[in-house]
Structure 1
Amino acid sequence: MTRPLAIGIAGLGTVGAGVMTVLRDNADLISARAGRAIAVTAVSARDRTRDRGVSVAGLRWYDDPVALAADPGVDVIVECIGGSEGPARALVEAALAAGRPVVTANKALMATHGAALAALAEQRGVPLAFEAAVAGGIPAIKAIREGLAANRLSRVTGILNGTCNYILTSMREKGREFAEALAEAQRLGYAEADPAMDVDGTDAAHKLAILAALAFGRPVAFGDVHVEGIRGVSALDIRLADDLGYRIKLLGIARCGENGISTRVHPCMVPAAHPIAHVDGVFNAVVAEGDFVGRVVLEGRGAGAGPTGSAVVADLIDIARGRHTPVWGAAEAALQPVATVPMSAHSGPYYLRLMVVDRPGVIADVTGVLRDHGISLESMIQRGRSPAEAVAVVLVTHECGEAAMSAALERIAALDAVLEPPAVIRIESL
């Protein structure tokens, strides 16, 4: 009889406990698909007394996760600690250096140190798998790296953060402002007590950096991602977007063109008819575009114990079967350091909302600034008419350059009739 694959799990929070639950509840199915049983034999976590909803009786326990990597009775290390530095990084480096396969759900680690870790894994000839690092239970990594391997991909777009998608959905469906929708997400457990990593776009940027490296065959480059969050999106903007035929989503967009690769995370107005516009709540979506396959849309739950645990166990089954794919889809020497296209080179249409004093000449002043910067208008809407209070003026531009728009916004914000900073959202045709 084939010996079970012995697993050591570091981190017994939501993901680590989810992995143990999946392995326990679907043990027979997993054994059949892996060709052998997969058994957790050792764990590492900070608190031995905490009830995690799964039994750890009979398992070897390590207070120091790095010591887990040296356990001779462990075949594969599963890292569920999180964070780009500290114990998570030390554990993964130690395990790979010792020649042990690693499965991680850590997007921050892979986005920040993925190039060095992949080189170490390649040098030692062991797998480093990370399906759970992007989009939870959606098999986005395998789809791009393996399922679409015959294609030259031109663009990958995604709703990559369920917290932000839930907040924007709640704002649209219930008319809530950002702060109220965020508080609701925190009460329901969809947002952390400190939500900055999610709502400021960093989490989505980590995932986009990973997807871009896989899609375009270049070393992972998190520092090249332009990042904006959703704090500046208002309920008014969401209502106006509906009126204009759009939905507002926080998107990660990676594109490969003649001048290089652009990677950006920011709120976007998406045509209401596009499939990604209807991905709501805590769901994620990844859209890949290839030269032979066309557009592929993947949708599902992007976080949580079950979806993320499912993705981790899928990687464990691959390792049990001896399926070993290079971390970034090709050997390190085959990755190309493609030039990065800066955000200042972006070009597209824009939604611009101004709160202005309703008096003659205001619109002429604003359109004069836009004219000076070579920006033409597709449409204009004024909401309300009241000389005594601010009114909303919405301008939708034709395609123009990011640099020109930034310069124009600086001048518009300085006009005395403009009462608050302009709200600007890029329009994506997708």
Structure 2
Amino acid sequence: MASLRVALLGCGVVGTEVARLLDEHADDLAARVGARLELAGVAVRRLGRDRTPSGVDPALFTTDAKALVSRYDVDLVVEVIGGIEPARGLILSAMERGASVVTANKALLAEDGVTLHTAAEKHGVDLYYEAAVAGAIPLLRPLRESLAGDRVRRVLGIVNGTTNYILDQMDSVGSSFAEALEEAQALGYAEADPTADIEGYDAAAKAAILAGIAFHSPVGSGDVHREGITDVTAADVASAKAMNAVVKLLAICELSADGGSVGVRVHPAMLPRTHPLASVRGAYNAVFVEAEAAGQLMFYGPGAGGAPTASAVLGDLVTAARNRLGESVGPRGSWYADRPVRPMGQTVTRYHISLDVDDRPGVLAAVAHVFSEHDVSIETVRQRAERAGDAELVIVTHQATDDALAATVAGLTRLDTVRDVLSVMRVEGE
């Protein structure tokens, strides 16, 4: 049987699992591909660490990643080191030399995906990255291939397991944000520095990739409106419960009604418990896709972790290897629509606003007048007395633009009777 040589860049949590599965499933993979997949080398930052779990021959480890991807006996390159550089340079070098690439690098794809796709097309090689979004969940290929004959209208998803775990703990057991984050770190769901997760950067990169594929337009991470979950309070979670809703960090990609632009945003939102995404618990991911002909589709599963992510990497590797043997390439990047990303201010949704106000006659009328001034229609109002002369006013609006809501909030802060705007959260899923 013929063999194909694979260079593995990175041997951390994911890389170790990729190497292990390549070894343990070697015969099955060979039968599926039609050729054996053999490791040509594994690039790491430092030699000398115990990498026994990977099952890799120690002689294959190298710190010279550039030399590894430049070898002419390497057919396929798997990049799981992450970050922008040196990953970008290594991938481009591999493509220039004629190797197809499988990557899990969401940050790089969100920042410079068009460049990578252009290089792959120029050099006649494949670029696959199923593992970059939602771990083991088959998502990007269905969007790119299975729905190629349809028009996707909306992608709504939970694409970060860390934040979903934290918000689920706040909802289900009443943990504070700090307590839930600490537990997530103890369980390995959150990094020692959780900034990329809790501030929404990770989800924003994934949203950019999803939007680009779904709407055939170049979308970068800088185009994504991003808000994290650090300001979500126990009171927000309690208010959501009172509405029979749950708070989730959502990645939302939408095609405008006329199909002329796209909206891409990541932020916490209240979601009705009747919505399929509301039942996604713990560190799991799920993505809800709405297409014109196919209707509503949901993809669910583990969105992170070494083995789940390695599963997606190996799926791409098998496809790229088959293409290599057949002297063909898979689907190219599709940017033909080139739709602009519309400003967040034009986004239309519902809102939940919590106000600390004076508890006296005329307050509600004054507040309602501010909403009316900015054409924001009120759906429901709930008032709860806190202390003598002090009350909390909770307002849920009908649909309005983000600009109109921001102007309304600014107007509310100027009212003498409004002591504080406690929280503003979007309401999605209806």
- Superposition deviation, residue 88 in structure 1: 1.0
Instruction: Provide the rounded CA distance (Å) in 1 between the counterparts of 2:64 and 2:384.
Output: 60
Superposition map of 1:18-417 within 5 A = 18-52=17-51, 53-83=53-83, 85-257=84-256, 258=258, 259-322=260-323, 324-328=329-333, 330=334, 335-387=336-388, 391-417=391-417
Are 1:40 and 1:59, in contact at CA under 8 Å, matched by a contact in 2?
Answer: no
Q: Which stretch has the larger CA shift, 70-79 or 225-234?
A: 70-79
Instruction: Provide the rounded CA distance (Å) in 1 between the counterparts of 2:366 and 2:38.
Output: 70
Instruction: Provide the rounded CA distance (Å) in 2 between the counterparts of 1:200 and 1:417.
Output: 32
Instruction: Provide the rounded CA distance (Å) in 2 between the counterparts of 1:140 and 1:146.
Output: 10
Are 2:355 and 2:392, in contact at CA under 8 Å, matched by a contact in 1?
Answer: yes
Indicate how the Cα distance of structure 1 residues 100 and 363 shifts in structure 2: closer, same or farther if over 3 A, else same.
Answer: same
Are 1:409 and 1:422, in contact at CA under 8 Å, matched by a contact in 2?
Answer: no
Instruction: Provide the rounded CA distance (Å) in 1 between the counterparts of 2:408 and 2:331.
Output: 46
**SS of aligned partner of 2:208:** helix
Are 1:23 and 1:38, in contact at CA under 8 Å, matched by a contact in 2?
Answer: yes
- Superposition deviation, residue 416 in structure 1: 4.6
Instruction: Provide the rounded CA distance (Å) in 2 between the counterparts of 1:33 and 1:156.
Output: 32
Instruction: Provide the rounded CA distance (Å) in 2 between the counterparts of 1:302 and 1:169.
Output: 15
- Superposition deviation, residue 419 in structure 1: 4.2
Indicate how the Cα distance of structure 1 residues 59 and 291 shifts in structure 2: closer, same or farther if over 3 A, else same.
Answer: farther
- The residue type paired with residue 299 of structure 1 is Y
Are 1:101 and 1:126, in contact at CA under 8 Å, matched by a contact in 2?
Answer: yes
| Cα-to-partner distance string for 1:319-347 (whole Å, 9 max, x where unaligned) | 1211632342x4xxx62211222111112
For the aligned residues, what is the CA RMSD?
Answer: 1.8
- Superposition deviation, residue 146 in structure 1: 1.1
- The residue type paired with residue 298 of structure 2 is V
Are 2:76 and 2:321, in contact at CA under 8 Å, matched by a contact in 1?
Answer: no
Instruction: Provide the rounded CA distance (Å) in 2 between the counterparts of 1:123 and 1:135.
Output: 28
- Superposition deviation, residue 211 in structure 1: 0.9
**SS of aligned partner of 1:15:** helix
**SS of aligned partner of 2:86:** helix
- Superposition deviation, residue 59 in structure 1: 4.0
Percent of aligned pairs with the same amino acid: 43
Indicate how the Cα distance of structure 1 residues 392 and 64 shifts in structure 2: closer, same or farther if over 3 A, else same.
Answer: farther
- The residue type paired with residue 400 of structure 1 is A
Instruction: Provide the rounded CA distance (Å) in 2 between the counterparts of 1:392 and 1:30.
Output: 61
**SS of aligned partner of 1:370:** helix
- The residue type paired with residue 232 of structure 1 is D
| Cα-to-partner distance string for 1:358-405 (whole Å, 9 max, x where unaligned) | 4444333322221221222111112344127x6432111111221111
**SS of aligned partner of 1:86:** coil
Instruction: Provide the rounded CA distance (Å) in 2 between the counterparts of 1:402 and 1:207.
Output: 23
**SS of aligned partner of 1:349:** strand
**SS of aligned partner of 1:306:** helix
- Number of residues paired by the alignment? 423
Are 2:359 and 2:385, in contact at CA under 8 Å, matched by a contact in 1?
Answer: no
Q: Which stretch has the larger CA shift, 56-65 or 145-154?
A: 56-65
Are 2:104 and 2:129, in contact at CA under 8 Å, matched by a contact in 1?
Answer: yes
